[in-house]
C-alpha cells in the first residue's frame, strides 16, 4: 500500500473505529473534496486500495473499517444497518469532513443509504455499488434469513481455517480476472474479520419506504449481472428509484457482485464521471 497514506482511529459510539486516508490530514489533502468509502460484509477499508489509489490525486479518500471488520473494535452486538450508519456518521463528523461523497459496496451501500436518509445534511453525494433496500432488509428472524446466516457463519468459519496464502490461491482460482492488487487485501480482511459480525439478532428492521425519500443529495446506483452474482435486479433498481427520484442507474455488464473487481476500468470511469458531475454547481449559481 502507498506509504504516505495515513491510518488513524475515531472514537464513535463507545467504539474505536479505524480508517485509512490517502492524505495525511494536512492542508493539501483537506483542500481536495472528500470521498468516504464504505466496504461490504467481510471486507475492510483496505480492500478499496486500488480505487483509492486511482482517485487520490483528485480526492481526499477515507476508507473506513466498519465495526467488527479490519482494525475497528468488534462488540458482541450492534451490527444492524442503523448502527453501522451511525458509526459512519460519527467517523465523518469526527474527521470534520464537509459533505463528502460516500461510495458504498453491498453492506456499505446499504449503510450509505441509511446514513443519507437519517442524516440528509451529511453527504454531498452517494454512490451505491450493488446494494438495494429490497435485498438488504435486516433484523427479523425468518427461516430464510436464519438459513442464510447459518450458511454465512459456516463460510466465515471455513475462512478462518485457512492461511493467507491458501485464501489468496482459492480466490485466484475462483476469480482469475481479479488483479493481484485485489487478492491480498481481500485475504487480509477475511483473517481480521470478527465472528461477532454475524450477531444480528438485535438488529432493528429498516423502514425503507419511510427512510429513503429523505435522501436529498445526488445519487448513483451501480448495477451488474444477477446471472453473475449481482444482487440488484432491474426491478430492484426501479423500486429504489421510485423512493429516490434523483437516483441515477449505471449498469456495468459482464460483472457480478464485486463490480469494481470484475470491471475495474469501466467502474472507475462511471465513478469519476458521476463525482465530477455531482461537484458541478447548479445552473442558477453559474
Q: Reply yes or no on whether the pLDDT at 62 is more than 60.
A: yes
In percent, the amount of the chain with pLDDT more than 70 equals 90
Instruction: For residues 100 and 118, give the distance between their C-alpha atoms in angstroms, rounded to a whole number.
Output: 15
Q: Reply yes or no on whether the pLDDT at 268 is more than 60.
A: yes
In percent, the amount of the chain with pLDDT more than 90 equals 79
What is the average pLDDT across 122-140?
A: 76
Instruction: For residues 205 and 80, give the distance between their C-alpha atoms in angstroms, rounded to a whole number.
Output: 8
Residue 153, pLDDT score: 87
Query: Could you tell me the pLDDT band of residue 23, with boundaries at 50, 70 and 90?
Result: confident
- Please name the residues in contact with 166: beta carbons below 8 A apart, sequence gap of 6 or more: none
pLDDT tens digits, 212-254: 999 999 999 999 999 999 999 999 999 999 999 999 999 999 9
What is the average pLDDT across 69-82?
A: 96
All structural domains of the chain with their residue ranges? 6-279
CATH level 2 (architecture), domain 6-279: 3-Layer(aba) Sandwich (3.40)
Q: What is the DSSP letter of 1?
A: -
Query: Could you tell me the pLDDT band of residue 137, with boundaries at 50, 70 and 90?
Result: very low
Residue 143, pLDDT score: 76
Query: Could you tell me the pLDDT band of residue 52, with boundaries at 50, 70 and 90?
Result: very high
- Please name the residues in contact with 172: beta carbons below 8 A apart, sequence gap of 6 or more: 178, 183
Torsional class of 96: left (φ above 0), alpha (ψ -120 to 50), beta (otherwise) = left
Please state, in angstroms and as integers, the Cα–Cα distance from residue 5 to each residue in 50, 231, 245, 261, following that order.
Answer: 13, 32, 37, 22
Nearest alpha-carbon partner for 40 in 102, 101, 110, 142: 110
Total Cβ atoms within 10 A of residue 1: 13
Instruction: For residues 167 and 246, give the distance between their C-alpha atoms in angstroms, rounded to a whole number.
Output: 40
Supply the pTM of this predicted model: 0.92
Residue 132, pLDDT score: 80
Residue 191, pLDDT score: 95
Amino acid at each position: 500500500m502507498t506509504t504516505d497514506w495515513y491510518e488513524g482511529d475515531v472514537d464513535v459510539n463507545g467504539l474505536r473505529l479505524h480508517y485509512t486516508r490517502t492524505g495525511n490530514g494536512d492542508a493539501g489533502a483537506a483542500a481536495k473534496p472528500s470521498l468516504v468509502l464504505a466496504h461490504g460484509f467481510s471486507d475492510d477499508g483496505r480492500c478499496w486500495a486500488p480505487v483509492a489509489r486511482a482517485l487520490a490525486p483528485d480526492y481526499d479518500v477515507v476508507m473506513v473499517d466498519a465495526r467488527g471488520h479490519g482494525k475497528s473494535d468488534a462488540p458482541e452486538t450492534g451490527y444492524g444497518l442503523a448502527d453501522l450508519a451511525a458509526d459512519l456518521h460519527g467517523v465523518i463528523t469526527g474527521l470534520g469532513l464537509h459533505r463528502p461523497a460516500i461510495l458504498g459496496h453491498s453492506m456499505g451501500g446499504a449503510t450509505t443509504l441509511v446514513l443519507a436518509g437519517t442524516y440528509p445534511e451529511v453527504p454531498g453525494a452517494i454512490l451505491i455499488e450493488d446494494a438495494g433496500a429490497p435485498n438488504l432488509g435486516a433484523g427479523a428472524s425468518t427461516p430464510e434469513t436464519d438459513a442464510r446466516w447459518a450458511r454465512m457463519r459456516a463460510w466465515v468459519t471455513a475462512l478462518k481455517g485457512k492461511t493467507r496464502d491458501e485464501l489468496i490461491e482459492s480466490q485466484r482460482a475462483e476469480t482469475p480476472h481479479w488483479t493481484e492488487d485485489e487478492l491480498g487485501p481481500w485475504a487480509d480482511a477475511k483473517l481480521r474479520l470478527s465472528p461477532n459480525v454475524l450477531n444480528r439478532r438485535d438488529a432493528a428492521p429498516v423502514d425503507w419506504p419511510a427512510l429513503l425519500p429523505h435522501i436529498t443529495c445526488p445519487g448513483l446506483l451501480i448495477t451488474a449481472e444477477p446471472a453473475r452474482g449481482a444482487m440488484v435486479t432491474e426491478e430492484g433498481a426501479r423500486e429504489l428509484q421510485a423512493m429516490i427520484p434523483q437516483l441515477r442507474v449505471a449498469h456495468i455488464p459482464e460483472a457480478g457482485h464485486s463490480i469494481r473487481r470484475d470491471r475495474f476500468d469501466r467502474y472507475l470511469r462511471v465513478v469519476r464521471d458521476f463525482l465530477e458531475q455531482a461537484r458541478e454547481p447548479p445552473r442558477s449559481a453559474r
